[in-house]
Structure 1
Amino acid sequence: MTPLSFAQRRLWFLAQMEGPSAAYNLSMALRLTGDLDRRALDEALRDVLGRHEVLRTTFPAVDGEPYQRILEPAESGFELPVVEVSQAELAEALPAATRLPFDLGAEIPLRARLFAVGPREHVILLVVHHIAGDGWSLKPLARDVAAAYAARCEGRAPDWTPLPVQYADYALWQRELLGEADDPESVLARQVAYWREALAEVPEELALPFDRPRPAVASDRGHAVPLELSAEAHARLTEVAREHRVTVFMVLQAALGLTLSRAGAGTDVPIGTVVAGRLDEALDDLVGFFVNTLVMRVDLAGDPTFAQLLDRVRETGLGAFENQEVPFERLVEELAPARSLARHPLFQVMLTVRNDGPDELRLPGLRTEGLSTRALSDATSMRFDLDVSMTETFDHGGAPAGLKGRLVVAADVFDERTARRLAEWLTRVVEAVVAAPDTPVGAVGILDAGERERVLFGWNDTAADVPGVSVVELFEAQAARTPDAVAVIAGDVELSYAELDARAERLARSLAARGAGPESVIAVALERGAELMVAVLGVLKAGAAYLVLDLNQPGERLAFVLADARPAMVITDPAGADAVRGFPGPVMAVDAPGSEEEPERTAAVRADHPAYVVYTSGSTGRPKGVVVTQA
């Protein structure tokens, strides 16, 4: 039995784990105007099926182990159904056909539909599962279909040069080339060692400007927006790439990393990209899943200039390309990062840059127009948090004519408006850095004037009329309005506003009877819970300031805080008693019974009196106490 390639095996595994999905469907749609020979087109597609074994391969499993089952063309079950549709119906029929999932164990990974819109107008849709093809495969596929159709229109079989190898040969050769991981001299062992070092401590999840928390399982839905750079920016980008001995891809990779860093992603930004993976010219004309994924980190630490960042990106990229044979799927197995159904392992941002022109299927005797198949699968094709793809365009003289593409975000965590904002930010950054490569990355702005105005002034316009009353007065007013409403929930304990007010009032009287009042500090050594709320409110009712002690802190820190703040007394319970055992002042239980003879609170509390004291972390020196007033 022929094994699957490493890339195929990962897709097969995902299909078993996630169930039927169209997330890995590749589509090519073409509008055909003129006199179409339907019989010749059907025969041409069958010719292509015969030429490329992988298109007539199913992937069943024996005892949980998948293998490639190559079918003869006659037993493949392939057909070209003709669907009569109106122009209006086509808008729904095309996406629906694109999103139909494949049963990899029983169904070949090629599907075709011919939509008849009129006597002289058709749309041909080809859908290939990623397990049998990649983006580079669409060119030889289109070329072979065109050649076969031309031959069949003349009543003959296509006369093409036989392919030197088939995809099954590649799957076997790949395993032989890589060797075994336990052989230190093997390609696999050497390259895994490189990637283990290159991806050491890579961020498990990149902190992007999400609109909502990530769900437990990703839905593969996305929001796509257009992305475009002008011919002027393209020309300058090309100049910068040449001046700094990098590729256009590397400039865009550095700019994307810079954009995300400025948006809050930090200074270590891992970005994935795909390489053709066709390491032998014998594979150039073959349809199959050859692409490999590389992870390259953009290191922005130390605020380098963009030119210096390009040097870092070039060094990282060259190392990655030299070690591109190890399949990403095998790399994930070897590095064993934290796995999740909610996010992609090792990286969540993908960048693809193409300069080889669009994939076109041209049939003789027909006017052809490619339809955007990417737009057909936006709702199902998103496997990353962010996916940026761009294609270079050139004029008739070969001069840069701009870059066109799209930016897609995961709908699970992003809104479409955020996708548009990210596209604007990336465009702005690219234009800025190619205009002035010596600019430090920390000085490159991503916001336009309106966004800066909103962040600096709009979001900070928080002025509000505040009533001239204390926290205690606000609480007591609420307790009077809703005495029976729940005020505190702590585990199984619930206190109503009336109960909390009564308990805090008793504590406040006891504190006042012991001299607590304005300008005095009362330490509170309690775990989180209802008693902590009673204590804090009781201290405020007494007019004093509270100092909450974190009982999880080391004893030395607690001793320092007590010595520095010099509280008049400590409120605690048995759980906190050990933490304040060395305190020289009085220690009072939070539930100490009050006395009917204790006077009512009479101290006047002003807005400038202290309300509480809190200490800094002390991570850069000794902790410092901060006093917050009643106001």
Structure 2
Amino acid sequence: MSRRDGDALPLTAAQREIWLAEQGARTALDVYRIGDYLEVHGPVDPELFEAAVRRVVGEIDALHVSFVDDGQDPRQVVRGAWAWEPTRLDLSSEPEPRAAALAWMARDRMRPLDLARDPLFSFALISLSPVHHLLYQNYHHLVMDGFGVSLVRRRITRTYTALAAGGPVPPSPFRSLDDLIRSDADYRASGQFTSDRSYWMERFADRPEPTQLTGRAPRSRSGLCPAAEPALLRVDTLRAAAAQTEAHWSRPLIAAAALYAHRLTGDEDVVIGLPVTGREGADRALMSSPGAVSNVVPLRLPVRPDTRWHDLVAEAAQEADAALAHQRYRSEDLFRDLGVPGATGSAFPLVVNIMVFDSPPSFAGHPATLHYLLPEPTTGLSLWVTGRRGGSDLQVELKGAPQAWSDDELAVHQRRLLALLDSVADCDPQETVGRIGLLTVGEERELLALGAGPVARASAESLLEVFRAQVRAMPDAVAVVGSDASLTYAELDARANRLAHALIARGVGPERLVAVA
């Protein structure tokens, strides 16, 4: 620790926004918890694991603070020591050890925390068998972001490996919390901050409406079970699409997400949220300081049915590159600058989160598999793409706000997104996006089956005449069905008439009324 017990420090800009958001939520949400677990296929010494974890925690200033609010500004106060210890769980005798471990982790992630008194982190060694272990780490988002989690995981692995080999532990690479806070404050007082603000203000000066993916009322969903099972996506699928457009593989992924939102809503001005580290282009202090500085930047993409796929990917690449160059300017600051209400969650109903790591994980020479613990969004949908840089597969998982999306709906959306990514990998770059298939193979088969019946001669009557005849013949029959309501032919006819009268009152001519009808 570089500070004394009781020292008060200001919050970083990211911490302040997380503090305000959680105070407004008034309940524990897993969106404010972040972590992962490393699945180790080999023996793990519990004593050495605990020694490694305790040593690393002692190196990280950000884990030795509590948060208080004196009515003016929240502050983080240094705590010289915590009464805590890593948890050890032996679940090898459980009927389903892995399921029991996942349930325990889910409960721990939702465990209430007193920000002024509790350690805002937890670690656990969960044994499924003598040669199968889960190394779990979890943090409140106030003290750690995703980049910081990766730094801590790497340091624990290297420390344990050194201890297991009986050699010296390499010096800590971490900078102090003072360095992190100073870097954040220096940025906000710099010309780069002003330049970043100007970019974002110009890009969103017309205050586009957020792309609303669903308008349904809240609903309940199954508790802690995953909403959609993760699926594998072959990286060569994305690389094929990228090669056709001379872009990085992530750019077709972003373009496909924007296309999906366009097809889902009809919006031709799509805004996507892209989580970023908030550290690129910063000084070295941020790159070696575990803590909370990450951000979510908006990507704004024009999507029309006649847009060529090549042009949409090129637009996504240009937009992403520009956003990353200005990624330290917080989206919450942009909302305030524009004078628009809402928080990050409501501004980005679709988030694309791409998390790849550099090398295959291992633990003291034993093979390991990294699993991210993904939070559910508070609104909308989040598309998570995780895996190893240079690997053959990526894992795709779609998470949805529990109050808006059912488990079955999320599974369908995930299958369609994967089908769309397969389609764009094979399509002509000059193809217009309105002609790119969106349905899964099963849905296409069902659709084709609907056209396999008898063929009737086309009526000479207009569509409007056919509708009027149906109103007279079956006024109480259901005409249209929506997500939460339905209309009979008589009700639909009455609504159409009211709309026509309203348009006439506004001076709309007969030719426009026919088009509306």
Partner of 2:241: 237
What pairs up with 1:330-479 in 2 under 5 angstroms? Answer: 330-339=333-342, 344-357=345-358, 360=361, 362-363=363-364, 367=366, 369-370=368-369, 372-374=371-373, 381-391=376-386, 401-435=392-426, 436-448=428-440, 450-452=442-444
Partner of 1:38: 46
Partner of 1:299: 302
CA deviations 1:415-440 (Å, max 9, x no partner) are: 22322322232223223333211101
The CA distance in 1 between the partners of 2:133 and 2:442, in whole Å, is 47
Q: Establish whether residue 58 from structure 1 lines up as the match of residue 70 from structure 2.
A: no
CA deviations 1:462-510 (Å, max 9, x no partner) are: x9xxxx99979999xxxxxxxxxxxxxxxxxxxxxxxxxxxxxxxxxxx
Q: Per-residue deviation at 1:257?
A: 0.9
| 8 Å contact from structure 1 (residues 178, 325) kept in 2 | no
Q: Establish whether residue 77 from structure 1 lines up as the match of residue 113 from structure 2.
A: no
TM-score w.r.t. the length of structure 2 is 0.77
Q: Per-residue deviation at 1:326?
A: 0.9
The CA distance in 1 between the partners of 2:499 and 2:20, in whole Å, is 52
Q: Per-residue deviation at 1:214?
A: 4.8
Q: Establish whether residue 94 from structure 1 lines up as the match of residue 108 from structure 2.
A: no
- Judge which range, 266-275 or 401-410, deviates more: 401-410
What pairs up with 1:142-541 in 2 under 5 angstroms? Answer: 142-153=153-164, 158-161=169-172, 163=174, 165-179=175-189, 186-208=191-213, 212-214=216-218, 223-230=227-234, 232-242=236-246, 246-278=247-279, 279-301=282-304, 303-339=306-342, 344-357=345-358, 360=361, 362-363=363-364, 367=366, 369-370=368-369, 372-374=371-373, 381-391=376-386, 401-435=392-426, 436-448=428-440, 450-452=442-444
CA deviations 1:264-310 (Å, max 9, x no partner) are: 34111111112222222333332122322110012114722111122
Over 6 Å off, 4+ runs: 154-157, 219-222, 468-475, 547-556
The number of residues matched between the two structures is: 468
Q: Cα 1:283–1:359, aligned 2, differ >3 Å: closer, same or farther? A: farther
CA deviations 1:215-252 (Å, max 9, x no partner) are: 79xx999723324333542441342253xxx3222111
The CA distance in 1 between the partners of 2:20 and 2:55, in whole Å, is 30
The CA distance in 1 between the partners of 2:515 and 2:137, in whole Å, is 69
CA deviations 1:53-106 (Å, max 9, x no partner) are: 00222122222411121222xx22221233343333634333322332432222
| 8 Å contact from structure 1 (residues 204, 337) kept in 2 | no
Q: Per-residue deviation at 1:22?
A: 2.8
Q: Per-residue deviation at 1:8?
A: 0.9
Where 2:392 maps in the other structure, the secondary structure is strand
The CA distance in 2 between the partners of 1:472 and 1:384, in whole Å, is 44
Where 2:347 maps in the other structure, the secondary structure is coil
Partner of 1:561: none
| 8 Å contact from structure 2 (residues 305, 434) kept in 1 | no
Letter of the 1:416 counterpart: D
The CA distance in 1 between the partners of 2:402 and 2:195, in whole Å, is 38
| 8 Å contact from structure 1 (residues 23, 220) kept in 2 | no
Seq. identity, %: 21
The CA distance in 2 between the partners of 1:324 and 1:473, in whole Å, is 58
Match of 1:16 among 20, 23, 41: 23
| 8 Å contact from structure 1 (residues 294, 328) kept in 2 | yes
The CA distance in 1 between the partners of 2:470 and 2:328, in whole Å, is 70
What pairs up with 1:610-621 in 2 under 5 angstroms? Answer: 617-618=508-509
Q: Per-residue deviation at 1:253?
A: 0.8
CA deviations 1:522-573 (Å, max 9, x no partner) are: xxxxxxxxxxx9xx99xxxxxxxxx87988677685xxxxxxxxxxxxxxxx
Q: Per-residue deviation at 1:166?
A: 1.9
Match of 2:75 among 46, 67, 74: 67
The CA distance in 2 between the partners of 1:189 and 1:172, in whole Å, is 18
Partner of 1:594: none
Q: Per-residue deviation at 1:353?
A: 2.5
Partner of 1:139: 150
Q: Cα 1:358–1:200, aligned 2, differ >3 Å: closer, same or farther? A: farther
CA deviations 1:99-134 (Å, max 9, x no partner) are: 324322222222122335566665432112222222
Q: Per-residue deviation at 1:623?
A: 4.7
Q: Cα 1:34–1:388, aligned 2, differ >3 Å: closer, same or farther? A: closer
Where 1:412 maps in the other structure, the secondary structure is coil
Q: Per-residue deviation at 1:311?
A: 2.6
The CA distance in 2 between the partners of 1:224 and 1:410, in whole Å, is 12
CA deviations 1:436-463 (Å, max 9, x no partner) are: 111011211212465356568859x9x9
Q: Higher relative contact order at CA 8 Å, sep ≥6: structure 1 or structure 2?
A: 2
Letter of the 2:201 counterpart: R
The CA distance in 2 between the partners of 1:238 and 1:189, in whole Å, is 34
The CA distance in 2 between the partners of 1:77 and 1:624, in whole Å, is 75
The CA distance in 2 between the partners of 1:26 and 1:321, in whole Å, is 22
| 8 Å contact from structure 1 (residues 226, 405) kept in 2 | yes
The CA distance in 2 between the partners of 1:455 and 1:193, in whole Å, is 49
Letter of the 1:111 counterpart: S
The CA distance in 1 between the partners of 2:156 and 2:116, in whole Å, is 26
The CA distance in 1 between the partners of 2:471 and 2:355, in whole Å, is 64
Where 1:132 maps in the other structure, the secondary structure is coil
| 8 Å contact from structure 1 (residues 23, 383) kept in 2 | yes
What pairs up with 1:564-575 in 2 under 5 angstroms? Answer: none
| 8 Å contact from structure 1 (residues 229, 404) kept in 2 | yes
Q: Cα 1:157–1:294, aligned 2, differ >3 Å: closer, same or farther? A: same
Question: Any unmatched runs of 5+ in structure 1?
Answer: 180-184, 476-532, 538-546, 558-616
| 8 Å contact from structure 2 (residues 180, 285) kept in 1 | no
Partner of 2:480: none
| 8 Å contact from structure 1 (residues 206, 265) kept in 2 | no
The CA distance in 1 between the partners of 2:499 and 2:333, in whole Å, is 50
The CA distance in 2 between the partners of 1:146 and 1:622, in whole Å, is 69
User: Which structure has the greater CA radius of gyration?
Assistant: 1
TM-score w.r.t. the length of structure 1 is 0.64
Q: Cα 1:448–1:186, aligned 2, differ >3 Å: closer, same or farther? A: same
CA deviations 1:137-181 (Å, max 9, x no partner) are: 233212211233244456787341553x323322232222222xx
